Amino acid sequence: MVMVDQSVVDALARPLRSLRISVTDRCNLRCQYCMPEEDYVWLPRNDILTFEEISQLVDVFTSVGVDRIRLTGGEPLLRKDLPDLVRLLVKKSEINDIALTTNGLLLSTHAAELHAAGLHRLTVSLDTLKEDRFKELTRFEGVSLVQKGITAASAAGFENIKIDSVVIRGVNDDELFDLLRYANSIGAEIRFIEYMDVGGATRWSTENVVSRVEILERIAEQLGSVTSINEISSAPADRFLLSTGQTFGIISSTTEPFCRSCDRSRLTADGLWYLCLYARTGTDLRKALRSGASVEELRELVTSVWTARGDRGAELRLTAKDRQSLIPIETLQKEPHLEMHTRGG
């Protein structure tokens, strides 16, 4: 039997609380900050964790302290029968929060069933409200589909929907106010994300980063006073309040990393467990699981890996000289796992 919630901490005294689970490596967009290249090597179907395997691994993680799950991809709504996985996860009393990050293209089709299955929260990625710009960013048209999906999610009963927008200088940084207004009009909270130089961002440069400081200055100049909301939270976004009562967030991992409080890790669709967005290697939990490891053996493996964790990837990148994209495209083409765990939010 799994011993419940004997919480573990890493070498920097950070607990293991949040697990991002990628349910597929595939995506129906090609966003330039995530999967910008033309061709990708997809995982063989047999390599993908089944829902039952994911459930087994979640039991292991909850036994050492995880109480928050986020389902990601690729694009998670491409995974067939995803509500079945949600139904498995909501039965686990140790989990307090189950969220999903999606690009929204398929959301109108799946929102009602996901809500009925028990999914708690939704985050939708939307970087622009302009159709031509959306196509430039993602290689596909889709603004209206994403907005339709958000409307359907609200109608299905989802509350407190988050919208994530990656801000890139010269690409969409002129839409800060339009995106704020749109979020306010639909009762969602927008989170502006600094452009990060993680695995798939092969076109990243420091010149393209719009910092948290600059975002706040621009918003204050246009909309008046911006007040910081003081919260005790390990969430990546700092939240702010406008004089109108609207709230928004900023995730400033590039210029003001939150490594010291990071309690999250990532499980790829084929079962590699990564401790940091900037990590070059992961632990193969699928191999251990399919080799017949017991729950206690898996728990001991997870515990030993986490207690040795000292990752501060974003902090170390901040000190790098002549900082460029993290991994050359030639290297990624040979070893896609170097960026696979950074996909999907």
Per the CB < 8 A criterion, the answer to whether 26 and 42 are in contact is yes
CATH number attached to the domain at 18-340: 3.20.20.70
Alpha-helical (H) ranges within the chain are 51-62, 82-90, 107-117, 131-138, 143-156, 176-185, 212-223, 285-290, 295-307, 313-318, 329-334, 337-340
Query: How high is the pLDDT of residue 179?
Result: 98
Enumerate the domain spans of the chain.
Answer: 18-340
In this prediction the pTM is: 0.93
- Secondary structure (3-state) at 291: coil
Provide the pairing of β-strand 226-228 with 189-194: unpaired
Residue 158 has a CB neighbour count (10 Å cut-off) of 22
The 10 Å CB-count burial string (b at 16+, else e) for 177-212 is: eebbebbbeeebbbbbbbbbbbbbbbebeeebbbbb
pLDDT tens for the 345 residues of the chain, in order? 444 556 899 999 999 999 999 999 888 777 777 766 666 677 889 999 999 999 999 999 999 999 999 999 989 999 999 999 999 999 999 999 999 999 999 999 999 999 999 999 999 999 999 999 999 888 888 999 999 999 999 999 999 999 999 999 999 999 999 999 999 999 999 999 999 887 666 678 889 999 999 999 999 999 999 999 998 877 889 999 999 999 999 999 999 999 999 999 999 999 999 999 888 899 999 999 999 999 999 999 999 999 999 999 899 988 887 777 666 666 766 676 666 656 655
Comparing C-alpha atoms, which of 74, 157, 59, 55 is closest to residue 116?
157
